[in-house]
């Protein structure tokens, strides 16, 4: 069996960076080099301000950087040295061409695979770490085998990540499971065992699951699709709750007490975001259509359609409550990240909401404790033939506190569930006093204490609850 002493990770993003930093942290005998062609990103990994905000990540990186953890732009040298190579590059949804809007763009995966094939001077284990459609490893294998010789042999493994942003380091240190898929050949199983040995340095053996290559690839898409499905299910029920006077928190609690269901991912909201859920479901939809399974494709597509419906429904409620117009009104948006404890904004519900507010000619004041200002501008502008940056800059203000955002506002909209927006952390009386009256507050995250805020004087709308609050 190959003993792994040197690991290279191609891609220093949200997955590769934290994953390989934790491997270095737990396996002092293994040299780990994370490589990326983006010089600025590598410089950030080598600085005191890491390019990613994750609780606990800084301690892990600083403990091992320069000892057995290295960040470099010298991709070729790292590939040549490594026994095992993680391919952890971006797999965005295609914007143009066949499968646009649904299929994953595998250009970066293919580029990295070709690079490995060209550069390698010895046998390598190549591990697919990026989230990819089922059977992507087949194309990687074809490229690598076409470049194999008598002396150089490539084995392919699938080792999908199951990280949740905001808890990624804890997820890596104490995973529910580590999944490693391999071709069921003697060489494939040997390579699989080599990676199992790496994880066994800190993960209990019963949590390391070994499967065939295709099961591993599909399991990642399936897990995310089923989690997103639960959110869309409770969000669909939240619309019924608002119409009937049921309370979505009580419904979710009652359902969650059923041990077959459990309580997780049953929190109604303005909609899910993040880099994975929508992308992975659309991948699954596209895969189903390619496999001539239209009913399966339609089933999963409905999860995404329900998520879009929830966001649009929330916007409509805001506009109708504000007397059917928000033109020239100041709307304070609290939160821009797709969820708390991360600076990541990919597919954030805030983007959809604010773009709709801009279309309605509102003035939007935004506050988020972690998201960089430039990121907000990038997410809200539409690059292309017409650059909308100037219009966006005219209509939005990025603020340094919730109080600044809410000053002179007609409505406050809670979009991200940051702890600092909770009723016992934020002085809502102060916010109320500085707003136009009537002062409206729309809670898209079930975060605020409704009774307390109504007593202050707020006109309140909470997703999944209606104003009667069960009294009629």
Catalytic residue among 54, 161, 165, 347: 161
Task: Give the burial class of 416: count Cβ atoms within 10 A of its Cβ; 0-12 exposed, 13-18 middle, 19 or more buried.
Answer: buried
161 is catalytic: yes
Q: Are 210 and 180 in contact (CB under 8 A)?
A: yes
Query: If you ran DSSP here, which 8-state letter would residue 124 be given?
Result: E
SS3 69: strand
Please identify which of the residues 31, 94, 129, 220 carries the catalytic annotation.
220
Candidates 415, 436, 220; CA nearest to 328 is 436
276 has catalytic annotation: yes
Candidates 204, 379, 253, 231; CA nearest to 309 is 231
Strands (DSSP E) found in 89-163: 124-128, 154-158
Partners of 412 in the beta sheet? Answer: 332, 441
Name the catalytic one among 242, 276, 355, 399.
276
Distances 314 to 53, 58, 137, 275, 432 between C-alpha atoms, Å:
29, 37, 41, 22, 21
Pairing mode of beta strands 154-158, 178-182: antiparallel
Sort strands 124-128 and 154-158 into parallel, antiparallel or unpaired: parallel
Q: Is the dihedral of CA 92, 77, 195, 43 positive or negative?
A: negative
What does the alpha-carbon distance between residue 80 and residue 191 come to, in Å, rounded to a whole number?
18
Torsion sign (Cα): 446, 308, 134, 152: negative
Measured CA to CA, the distance from residue 220 to residue 274 in angstroms comes to 15
The residues assigned a catalytic role are: 161, 220, 276
């Amino acid at each position: 069996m190959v003993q792994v002493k040197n690991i290279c990770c191609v891609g220093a993003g949200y997955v590769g960076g934290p994953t390989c930093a934790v491997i270095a942290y737990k396996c002092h005998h293994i040299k780990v080099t994370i490589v990326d062609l983006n010089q600025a990103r590598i410089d950030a990994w080598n600085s005191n301000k890491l390019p990613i905000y994750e609780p606990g990540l800084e301690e892990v990186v600083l403990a091992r950087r320069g000892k057995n953890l290295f960040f470099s732009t010298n991709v070729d040298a790292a590939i040549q040295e490594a026994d095992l190579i993680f391919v952890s590059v971006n797999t965005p949804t295609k914007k143009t061409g066949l499968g646009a809007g649904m299929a994953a763009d595998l250009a970066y995966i293919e580029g990295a695979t070709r690079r490995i094939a060209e550069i390698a001077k010895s046998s390598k284990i190549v591990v697919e770490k990026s989230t990819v459609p089922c059977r992507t490893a087949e194309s990687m294998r074809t490229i690598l085998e076409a470049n194999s010789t008598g002396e150089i042999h490539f084995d392919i493994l699938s080792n999908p990540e199951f990280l949740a942003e905001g808890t990624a380091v804890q997820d890596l240190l104490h995973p529910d499971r580590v999944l490693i898929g391999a071709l069921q050949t003697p060489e494939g199983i040997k390579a699989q065992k080599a990676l199992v040995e790496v994880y066994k340095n800190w993960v209990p053996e019963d949590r390391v699951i070994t499967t065939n290559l295709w099961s591993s690839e599909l399991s990642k898409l399936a897990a995310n699709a089923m989690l997103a499905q639960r959110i869309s299910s409770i969000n669909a029920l939240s619309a019924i709750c608002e119409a009937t006077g049921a309370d979505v928190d009580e419904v979710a609690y009652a359902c969650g007490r059923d041990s077959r269901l459990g309580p997780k991912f049953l929190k109604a909201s303005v909609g899910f975001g993040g880099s994975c859920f929508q992308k992975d479901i659309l991948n699954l939809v596209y895969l189903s259509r390619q496999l001539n399974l239209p009913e399966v494709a339609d089933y999963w597509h409905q999860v995404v359609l329900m998520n879009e419906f929830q966001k649009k429904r929330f916007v409509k409620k805001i506009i109708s409550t504000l007397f059917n117009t928000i033109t020239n009104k100041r709307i304070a948006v609290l939160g821009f990240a797709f969820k708390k404890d991360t600076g990541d904004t990919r597919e954030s519900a805030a983007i959809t909401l604010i773009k709709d507010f801009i279309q309605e000619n509102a003035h939007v004041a935004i506050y988020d404790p972690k998201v960089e200002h430039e990121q907000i501008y990038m997410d809200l502008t539409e690059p292309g033939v017409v650059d909308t940056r100037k219009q966006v800059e005219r209509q939005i203000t990025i603020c340094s506190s919730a109080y600044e955002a809410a000053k002179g506002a007609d409505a406050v909209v809670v979009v991200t569930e940051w702890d600092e927006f909770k009723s016992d952390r934020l002085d809502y009386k102060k916010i109320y006093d500085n707003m136009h009256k009537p002062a409206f507050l729309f809670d898209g995250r079930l975060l605020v204490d409704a009774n307390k805020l109504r007593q202050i004087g707020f006109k309140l709308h909470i997703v999944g609850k209606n104003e009667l609050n069960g009294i009629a």
